[in-house]
Structure 1
Amino acid sequence: MRGGEIVKNPNCSASPMATEQTILVGKKPATNYVIATVMAFNAGVKKVVLKARGAAISKAVSTAVMVRDRFLPGKVQIKDVKLLSDKVQGQGGRERTVAAVEIVLEMA
């Protein structure tokens, strides 16, 4: 996962009115991800999935709460939270386990 990319879900249709969008949370400030999430909902997307690993997990949680409580109160709900672990190559080629989270936001 790089420094915060917006990625279209390969499972959704290729139409401009996609029903789901995935946002990878990384090194940028949380407000960047909040704006990307709000813009996706304003563009007609029904479900946004915030994905983060390691230190960015708290930023993904902050993003979800800010969108739900401050930017789109009563319009967006947190539908699901998945706690995961990813195996990544560390320094020296060693395999490490890193915590990850997926937060699903849906229009109410």
Structure 2
Amino acid sequence: MAEEENVVYVGSKPVMNYVLACITQFNEGANEVRIKARGRAISRAVDVAEIVRNRFMPEVEVKDIKIGTEELETEEGDTVNVSTIEIVLEKPV
């Protein structure tokens, strides 16, 4: 499987856009979809995972959740820590 295959990056668009992206991935045959976000989009990523699981695809399970921190450099040269999350949803075979 390719490194960035079946990954949904959550940003500032409406939640349902990302939900639709996840459902589309599953409907195209993916057994696993990774939802990635950082910073303020983390809560939106959690919402996406829960909406997919509870409203649209109850058979999908949370396989793994990874949290971490990335160091980013600002334009002024300072380093800023940004939290990250990766939620792995799995559709049982």
Q: TM-score normalised to the size of structure 2?
A: 0.92
Whole-Å Cα distance in 2 between the matches of residues 10 and 43 of structure 1?
Answer: 16
1:104 to 82, 88, 92: 88
Note the aligned Cα RMSD (angstroms): 1.5
- 1:71 CA displacement: 0.6
TM-score normalised by the chain length of structure 1: 0.80
Relative contact order higher in (CA < 8 Å, ≥ 6 apart): 2
Match of 1:3 in 2: none
Q: Which of 42, 45, 65 does residue 57 from structure 1 map onto?
A: 42
Could you tell me how far apart the structure 2 residues matched to 1:107 and 1:58 are? 22
Q: How many residues were matched structurally?
A: 92
Superposition misfits of 4+ residues, deviation over 6 angstroms:
none
1:95 aligns with 2:87: no
SS of the counterpart of 1:92? coil
**1:32-63: CA deviations, max 9, x gaps?**
00000001000001110000000000000000
* Runs (5+) with no aligned partner, structure 2: none
In structure 1, the residue matched to 2:30 is 45
Percent of pairs identical after alignment?
42
